[in-house]
Amino acid sequence: MNPLLTLMQINDSVFPIGGFTHSYGLETYINKEIVHDAKTAKEYAQTLLEHSFYYNDAAFFHKAWQLCESRATRKKIAELDALITAFKAPYEIRDASKKLGIRFLKLTEKLKPVKRCSAYLKAINAQELHGHYAMAFAMFAHAQEISYTDALSAFYYNSLNGIMTNCAKLVPISQMDAQQILFKLQPLINKLVGLQPELDDDLIGNCCIAQDIRCMQHEKLYTRIYIS
């Protein structure tokens, strides 16, 4: 198999795991008119990547990758799963991580079974573990011999692409604006990927308070298009 093609497939926006149904609090920002044009959309995306994603899902990806590299025991996998669950305070975000993780694991199981991924899915279905997308993505990508830098870069990009897709629908901004923002933030992704291994363990899960609040507020919006 071709690792690059595999990465392109599992990171494609149309990979059917339901990512398009989640805005991760963005819908609240737009409802409150905090994000209202291309400029504020870019500011939101950049802030989210630098001050939330870097310390959370990307950091969880990194820790899961390290466990794969060291062939860690199931106990270590369970400890990371529990840690991520504790850090995801807003219910919708915690639930989204589980749903995406389960769908990703089920679909990749049909593509190419991976022992570690199969065991993770079995534990989730048995309600022994919660399940998280960042861990599932890292486990499968590692097993396909995709490089760490490529896999994490794609993981960052997929998050940013989701933000821009939602901005194009909700703000709205033009598709050209969305593509320009995606292109302009490439250097930021490269920077964060390079810095990821240097993140102190004590900073993992560092809370972006405003983001968490908007995610919680989303649960009670009068009109909601997205699940989270």
Per-residue pLDDT of the chain (228 residues; tens, 9 = 90+): 899 999 999 998 888 887 777 788 888 888 889 999 999 999 999 999 999 999 999 999 999 999 999 987 889 999 999 999 999 988 888 989 999 999 999 999 999 999 999 999 999 999 999 999 999 999 999 999 999 999 999 999 999 999 999 988 889 999 999 999 999 999 999 999 999 999 999 999 887 788 888 888 888 877 777 777
Quote the pLDDT of residue 60: 97
> Distance between CA 104 and CA 67 in Å, rounded?
19
> Distance between CA 93 and CA 56 in Å, rounded?
12
* Residue 153 token pair: 């870069």
Angle in degrees, CA 21, 221, 98, rounded to 5:
40
Give the distance from CA 50 to its chain's centroid. Answer: 13
* Residue 202 token pair: 């004590």
**Domain 23-218, CATH number (from 3.20.20.105, 1.10.490.10, 3.90.1150.10, 1.10.4190.10):** 1.10.4190.10
Q: For residue 205, with 0-12 CB atoms within 10 Å meaning exposed, 13-18 middle and 19 or more buried, which class applies? A: middle
Predicted TM-score (pTM) of the model is 0.95
Please choose, from the candidates 180, 219, 209, 206, the residue with its C-alpha nearest in 3D space to the C-alpha of residue 27: 219
Quote the pLDDT of residue 214: 86
> Distance between CA 161 and CA 179 in Å, rounded?
9
